Amino acid sequence: MTHADTITEVIEEFDFLKRTRLEFEKSIEFINAEIKPVEKGVRRFLEQPFRQLAVKFPVQMDNGSIEIFTGYRVQQNRLYEPTKGGIRYASDVSLDLITALAFDMTMKCQVVGLPYGGAKGGVCADPKKLSRAELDRLTRRYAYEILPIIGPDSDVPAPDVGTSEREMGIIYDTYKMFNPQTPYAPAVVTGKPLNLGGSKGRKEATAQGGAYVLEEAVKQKSIEGFSSLKDAAVVVQGYGNVGFHISQILHDDFGCKIVGICDSKGGIYSEDGLDPKEVMGYKNSSPDQSVIGFDGLQHLTQLQLLTSSCDILIPAAKETQILGSVAKDLQASVILELANGPTTNLADRILTDKKVHVLPDILANAGGVTVSYFEWLQNKAGESWELPIVKEKLQRKMATAYGNIVETARNHNLDMRSAAFVFAISKAIDVVYERGIFP
């Protein structure tokens, strides 16, 4: 490898959109060569977002000053409508990041067989630096700015990093104020509070779906050396909505040992296992809102935690965390990607060589959008499903999706990530031809 190649590879590692496009091109080349011919125009149609909205808007701060924020909503593809995808509040939100995440949403919906196109939104803001009142004003104004392009049958947002059911409630309320006559108005957004038409099981859905995928992989004996999840040692990166719930579900329902947990400030590790609820209780009451210091355990860095001894590593924080340099030293034999885009392409190649079993994000974390779909269906039908029904339907969707990706991997001799992309893109190509090009 030349010096220039090395530099390109390092730049690619940190460029999530570029990585996504490379994965897309690789899959399209494969489909074109091995499955069916793909016209150039169809490739371009599927690769590019069809709508990118960027807005700058003012928000009054508690001290009376006015700050200008930048927000985005990207609708990647309306193979089916509505489009669907979360809203992220973080200081590194950019148009490229939201575009990459919107593309992944299109893929994810195809993997689990949901009649949605992909979308994503976000505001460049660190929610930890804003008061509750400032956040509420920011959410209401952002909702107003994206109002022209969202709706129960056009584009339906949901929570992502830095947002929760509170923001979804405000977006619903703003939409309803401007659309008082719209039928099924609660279906404009999912991940809402239960009182506003939220679904039971939505908060923990991403984690629950991931647990079902992992369970299915173990049941089908797809992971060498794994006959049960009982006592499997698990390390979780990120201790927000997804990270906490996966720790709790694997600990309580599957008998796993949660040996390591970290958040943005660093991590903790205990060979004897941690109680996820106790760790969350500590985090919530600590002045830094961090797991650091729990039970007097040593403070570990991200790198130490990601490469610490465990059977299963679960990235549940953000993109671009498992770099090539991390993959080299990683000890886990399974990675369950609950975050979006946590593993770089370089890391992926190293993990393949090391025979680490990777359950890719567009399959592993699709439980969130799946229960969002259930919520949308309940809103449209004026129903409220009990939790066991939601869980049973989710389990079936995730098991079917897992089976489809394993079959694609076996039939075409692909790793699970490539198989998931090839499966999703092949289906998307079929939909394009079946619908035809308007007019």
- At its nearest, how many Å lie between ligand NAD and the CB of residue 248? 13
- At its nearest, how many Å lie between ligand NAD and the CB of residue 177? 26
Pick the closer one to ligand NAD by CB: 174 or 199: 199
Q: Are 416 and 358 in contact (CB under 8 A)?
A: yes
Annotation marks residue 26 as catalytic: no
Pick the closer one to ligand NAD by CB: 31 or 150: 150
Pick the closer one to ligand NAD by CB: 162 or 186: 162
- At its nearest, how many Å lie between ligand NAD and the CB of residue 237? 5
- Residue 285's φ and ψ, nearest 5 degrees, are -95, -10
Pick the closer one to ligand NAD by CB: 233 or 369: 369
User: At residue 272, what is the residue type?
Assistant: D
Pick the closer one to ligand NAD by CB: 28 or 212: 212
- At its nearest, how many Å lie between ligand NAD and the CB of residue 165? 10
* Chain residue whose CB lies nearest ligand NAD: 240
**Which of 392, 399, 387 lies closest to 363 in space, CA to CA?**
399
Pick the closer one to ligand NAD by CB: 188 or 292: 292
Q: Are 263 and 282 in contact (CB under 8 A)?
A: no
- At its nearest, how many Å lie between ligand NAD and the CB of residue 203? 8
Residues with Cβ within 8 Å of residue 235, at least 6 apart in sequence: 258, 259, 260, 261, 269, 305, 306, 308, 310, 312, 313, 314, 332
Sign of CA dihedral 232, 235, 239, 243: negative
User: At residue 354, what is the residue type?
Assistant: K
Residue 434 burial (CB < 10 Å; 0-12/13-18/19+)? exposed
Q: Are 297 and 291 in contact (CB under 8 A)?
A: no
- At its nearest, how many Å lie between ligand NAD and the CB of residue 102? 12
- At its nearest, how many Å lie between ligand NAD and the CB of residue 73? 16
Annotated active-site residue in 108, 120, 200, 257: 120
Pairing relationship of beta strands 266-269 and 312-315 according to DSSP bridges? unpaired
Residues with Cβ within 8 Å of residue 103, at least 6 apart in sequence: 20, 24, 47, 49, 76, 118
DSSP for 69-125, please give it. Answer: EEEEEEE---SSSSEEEEEEEETT--HHHHHHHHHHHHHHHHHTT-S-EEEEEEEE-
Pick the closer one to ligand NAD by CB: 259 or 432: 259
Neighbouring C-beta atoms of residue 129, cutoff 10 Å: 9
Pick the closer one to ligand NAD by CB: 236 or 409: 236
**Which of 389, 407, 345, 395 lies closest to 366 in space, CA to CA?**
395
Residues forming the site for ligand NAD (CB under 6 A):
159-162, 206, 237-243, 262-264, 302, 316-318, 338-340, 365, 368
- At its nearest, how many Å lie between ligand NAD and the CB of residue 339? 3
Neighbouring C-beta atoms of residue 285, cutoff 10 Å: 8
Spatial distance between the Cα atoms of 338 and 316, rounded to a whole number of angstroms: 5
**Which of 150, 161, 145 lies closest to 187 in space, CA to CA?**
150
DSSP for 202-256, please give it. Answer: STTHHHHHHHHHHHHHHHTT-STT-S--TT-EEEEE--SHHHHHHHHHHHHHH--
Residue 336 structure tokens: 């369950």
Give the residue numbers annotated as catalytic, written as ranges.
120
